Amino acid sequence: MSGRFNRDPPSSASSDSGGEDTVAPQMDEEESITDHGEVEVTSTPNSPRPPSAGPPQTPTQGALRSPRTRRQRSTSQSQPSRSREPILRGRRRTIYTAGRPPWYDCQGQLVEPFVLTEKHHEEAARNEYNFDHPDAFDFELVAKTLVRLKEGKKVEVPIYNFVTHCRETKTKTMYGANVIIFEGILAFYSPDVLKLLDMKVFVDTDSDERLVRRLQRDIAERGRELDGVLKQYFKFVKPAFDYYIAPSMVHADIIVPRGGENEVAINLIAQNVMTQLQQRGFKLREKLANTNFGMARPSSLHLLPSTPQIRGLHTFIRNKDTPRDEFIFYSKRLIRLVIEHALALLPFRDITVETPQGIPYEGKHIATEKICGVSILRAGETMENALCEVLKDVRIGKILIQTNLDTGEPELYYLRLPKDIKDYHIFLMDATVATGAAAIMAIRVLLDHEVIEEHISLCSLLMTEQGKR
Helix (H, G, I), strand (E, B) or coil at 144: helix
pLDDT of residue 81: 44
Give the DSSP H or E segment for 128. none
Which residue from 407, 315, 383, 389 is spatially nearest to 99, judged by alpha carbons? 407
pLDDT of residue 325: 92
pLDDT of residue 38: 41
In whole angstroms, what is the distance from residue 366 CA to residue 65 CA? Answer: 53
Choice between 68 and 387, residue whose per-residue pLDDT is larger: 387
β pairing state of 155-161 and 76-77: parallel
pLDDT of residue 161: 72
All residues at 6 or more sequence positions from 308 whose CB lies less than 8 Å from its CB, including other chains: none
Give the residue-averaged pLDDT of 70-76: 43
Q: Which residues pair with 396 in a beta bridge?
A: 373
Domains along the sequence of the chain with CATH: 33-282 (3.40.50.300), 308-468 (3.40.50.2020)
For residue 9, pLDDT over 50 is answered with: no
CB of 142 closer than 8 Å to CB of 23: yes
Q: Based on C-alpha coordinates, what's the Rg of the chain?
A: 28
In whole angstroms, what is the distance from residue 393 CA to residue 413 CA? Answer: 27
For residue 323, pLDDT over 90 is answered with: yes
pLDDT of residue 336: 93
- CB burial string 280-294: b at 16+ within 10 A, e below: eebebbeebeebeee
In whole angstroms, what is the distance from residue 236 CA to residue 133 CA? Answer: 8
- Alpha helices by DSSP H, 351-422: 384-390
All residues at 6 or more sequence positions from 27 whose CB lies less than 8 Å from its CB, including other chains: 74, 75, 76, 114, 131, 136, 137, 138, 160
In whole angstroms, what is the distance from residue 24 CA to residue 204 CA? Answer: 19
For residue 223, pLDDT over 80 is answered with: no
CA distances from 70 to 49, 139, 143, 282 (A): 11, 13, 17, 41
pLDDT of residue 122: 67
* Range 306-312 contact pairs with CB under 8 angstroms and sequence separation of 24 or more: 310/334, 310/337
In whole angstroms, what is the distance from residue 383 CA to residue 374 CA? Answer: 10
Tell me the one-letter amino acid at 48. P
Helix (H, G, I), strand (E, B) or coil at 104: coil
Sign of CA dihedral 430, 432, 433, 434: negative
Give the residue-averaged pLDDT of 443-448: 87
Give the residue-averaged pLDDT of 434-461: 87
CB of 280 closer than 8 Å to CB of 1: yes
In whole angstroms, what is the distance from residue 213 CA to residue 435 CA? Answer: 50
Q: Which residues pair with 349 in a beta bridge?
A: 365
pLDDT of residue 427: 93
For residue 123, pLDDT over 50 is answered with: yes
Which residue from 166, 168, 173, 125 is spatially nearest to 149, judged by alpha carbons? 173
Choice between 110 and 168, residue whose per-residue pLDDT is larger: 168
Cβ-based neighbour number of residue 171 at 10 Å = 16
Helices 308-318, 324-344: crossing angle, 10 deg rounding: 140
Asked, as a colleague might, if the bond just before 126 is cis with ω within 30 of 0, I would say: no
The model's confidence at residue 45, banded by pLDDT at 50, 70 and 90, is low
The single-letter DSSP state of residue 234 is I
Q: Per residue in 362-379, pLDDT tens?
A: 999 888 888 999 999 888
For residue 66, pLDDT over 50 is answered with: no
CB of 50 closer than 8 Å to CB of 67: yes
Give the residue-averaged pLDDT of 303-317: 91
Q: Per residue in 197-221, pLDDT tens?
A: 888 888 888 778 878 888 887 788 7
pLDDT of residue 120: 65
What is the number of helices (H) and of strands (E) in the chain? 13, 16
